Amino acid sequence: MLRILLLTILLTSVAYFVLNAQDYDADSKRISQINRGNQLVNEGRCNNCHTPLIETKDGLIPDSKRTLSGHPSDSEIPEIPAVEIDSEEWLKFLYSLDSTVWAGERGMSFSANLTPDPMTGIGKWNEETFIEIMRSGRHVNLKRNIKPPMPWKDYAKLGDEDLKSIFAYLATLPPIRNAVPKPVPLP
């Protein structure tokens, strides 16, 4: 009887350690995936367009309170001048825009909110949605092509594991509610 009891205890402890080790493996895999995603977001310079800048005494710096939350919904939408694209006036206008706004032949576009807010960000997406968008250059829900200057063709070359890592990292950002305005056509 005692032998059976000891054997049961032994087997239970072995199972406990095996299961714990599996959890530990899954956690460390997830952590290295998130770190890789963070690295790819930095190398891919997603912040250049998707994080608004803030004025400080050292000049303009990315606003860490609004990391990757896209063009701020509370900032005024600039008016597109009725001048020829690439004319001097046009370039002056282009340089006056902040880093989350762009204008060109396909009108004015505003960088998207990449934080996991379910209403205004990517909180309702899963890995598959993200990969599909990054590879096809098409918004799944909006049913339209992603406009310039989003360099999706460069990121489309990344492998599945890299795109999954970017998504895993984005999912760890604090969710920020910021409804980015719709693109504005040329006048």
Report the alpha-carbon distance of residue 184 to residue 36 in Å, rounded: 35
Q: Which of 103, 133, 168, 171 binds ligand HEC (CB under 6 A)?
A: 133
Residues 6+ apart with CB under 8 A from 100: 49, 50, 51, 52, 70, 71, 72, 110, 111
**Among 133, 135, 102, 130, which Cα is nearest to 116's?**
130
**Measured in Å, how far apart are the chain's first and last C-alpha atoms?**
88
Closest distance to ligand HEC from the beta carbon of 149 (Å): 4
Contact window for ligand HEC (CB under 6 A) among 24-32, 72-80, 85-93, 139-147: 139-147
- Contact mark string toward ligand HEC, 44..73, x via CB under 6 A: xxx-xxx-----------------------
Q: Which amino acid is at 80?
A: I
The length of the chain is 187
Query: Where does 100-159 have alpha helices with state H?
Result: 127-136, 152-155
Closest distance to ligand HEC from the beta carbon of 77 (Å): 13
Closest distance to ligand HEC from the beta carbon of 46 (Å): 3
- Contact mark string toward ligand HEC, 145..164, x via CB under 6 A: -xx-xxx---x---------
> Which residues in this chain contact ligand HEC in the complex, by CB under 6 A?
41, 44-46, 48-50, 102, 109, 111-112, 114, 133, 139, 146-147, 149-151, 155, 166, 183
